[in-house]
Amino acid sequence: MKFFVCIKQVPDTETKIKVGADQQIDPAGVKWVMNPYDEYAIEEAIKQREKNPGSQVWVVTVGPKARTAEALRTALAMGADEGILIDAPANLEPQITAKALSLVIQQEGGAKVVFTGRLAIDDNASSVSQMLAEFSNFPHTTVVSKFSMDSENVTVEREAEGGQCEVVQMATPAVVAANKGLNMPRYASLPGIMKAKKKVLKEVSIDSLGFSLVAKTKTLALELPAEKPPVKLMSGEISAQVSSLVQLLRDEAKVL
């Protein structure tokens, strides 16, 4: 029994984003990390492996091999058994990434559960999990904050609007997109890091998967947010500050 975890390497949230002359994100000075939601996905897969002796956790990523191998090594150091790197250009469209992931998972004999993060914080599309499920013909649930599994089904809790919680049962194989709150991701320990160096990290090129999907969207330009004028600080007694604030909100900002 195999649990697959699909992860993505993204710029750290603290990284300052700059746009280069070529209308791409300037890679200079970018610190790359594993997408934060993917850590919950890995943790859940490892917990399930612990409960199901003989099962394995495989992590897979799509991206340029020069940098993304590091994210896979981190996952292996957390405790995943094997890694697969699908070498591909950066910033692919979700459909293409999802198709590549579904093909590789199929080639490797399929999965009991495919775990993903509910959102990649770089392209903000929250699409790959559902598309991967569609291409694999698996059911899916996203924004999952609770997970349990028996021999045929998984039962998950999905967070929807207004604190609403949906309890969903899916027949396996299924795709589960993890939200914060699902678990507490473990850190990669030093022995874990040492062990990870000896684990199998397979590479496949996206071209070798033999599918053709054309991009359906095109980026025209990247823009940085407009400079904000400096904050207007209220002054005087608290009651005077409060009344100027309300007046500005009503008459200047017109938001009341």
Partner 1 sequence: MGKILVFVEFNHGQLKRSSLELLSAAQSSGQTVVAAAVGSLAEGISKEASQYGATDIYVIKETTFDKYNPELFTLGLTEIIKKSEASLVLATASALGKDLFPRVAARLDAGILSDCIELKISGDNVTAKRPIYSGKCFSKVTFENCPIKIVLMRPNQLPISVPNASATTNVIAHSVNAPSLRTLIKEVVKGTSEKLDLTEANIIVSGGRGMKEAGNFKFLEQLADVLGATVGASRAVVDAGWVTHDLQVGQTGKTVAPSLYIAVGISGAIQHLAGMSGSKVIVAINTDANAPIFQKATYGIVGDFADVLPKLTEEFKRAMA
Residue in 44, 63, 135, 151 binding partner 1, rule: CB under 8 A: 135
For partner 1, the binding residue among 21, 66, 190, 253 (CB under 8 A) is: 253
Q: Which is nearer to partner 1, 76 or 174 (CB)?
A: 174
Q: How far is the CB of 137 from partner 1 (least distance, A)?
A: 9
Q: Give every CB contact of residue 221 below 8 A, 6+ residues apart in sequence.
A: 23
How many residues line the site for partner 1 (CB under 8 A)?
80
Q: What type of residue sits at position 97?
A: T
Q: Which is nearer to partner 1, 72 or 119 (CB)?
A: 119
d(CA 64, CA 7): 13
Closer to partner 1 by CB, 194 or 242: give it.
242
Regarding 110 and contact with partner 1 (CB under 8 A), the answer is: no
CA 163, CA 188: separation in Å to the nearest integer?
32
Please, is 79 exposed, middle or buried when counting C-beta atoms within 10 Å of its C-beta (0-12, 13-18, 19+)? buried
In 3D space, the residue among 193, 63, 188 whose CA is nearest the CA of residue 120 turns out to be: 63
Which region, judged by CB under 8 A, interacts with partner 1, from 53-61, 78-86, 136-144, 200-208?
A: 136-144
Interactions with partner 1, residue window 211-240 (CB under 8 A): 214-225, 228, 231-234, 238-239
Residue list 47-106, contact with partner 1 (CB under 8 A): 94-95, 98
Among positions 153-192, residues that touch partner 1 (CB under 8 A) are: 155, 159-171, 174, 180-181
Q: Is 146 left (phi over 0), alpha (psi -120 to 50) or beta?
A: beta
Q: How far is the CB of 111 from partner 1 (least distance, A)?
A: 15
CA distance 83 to 118: 20
Whole-number minimum distance, CB 209 to partner 1, in Å? 16
Binding of partner 1 by 31 (CB under 8 A): no
Neighbours of 4 (CB within 10 A): 27
CA atoms 94, 42, 45, 65: torsion sign? positive
Q: What's the rounded Cα separation, in Å, for the pair 168 and 58?
A: 25
What tokens does 49 get? 């492996």
Q: What 3-state class would DSSP assign to 85? A: strand
Among 56, 90, 123, 199, binds partner 1 (CB under 8 A): 123
Nearer to partner 1, 167 or 190 (CB): 167
How far apart are the C-alpha atoms of 54 and 220, rounded to whole Å? 49
Q: Are 83 and 199 in contact (CB under 8 A)?
A: yes
Residue 7 lies near partner 1 (rule: CB under 8 A) = no
Nearest approach, Cβ of residue 57 and partner 1 (Å): 23
Residue number with CB closer to partner 1 (60 or 131): 131
Q: Which is nearer to partner 1, 22 or 161 (CB)?
A: 161
The answer to whether 26 contacts partner 1 (rule: CB under 8 A) is: no
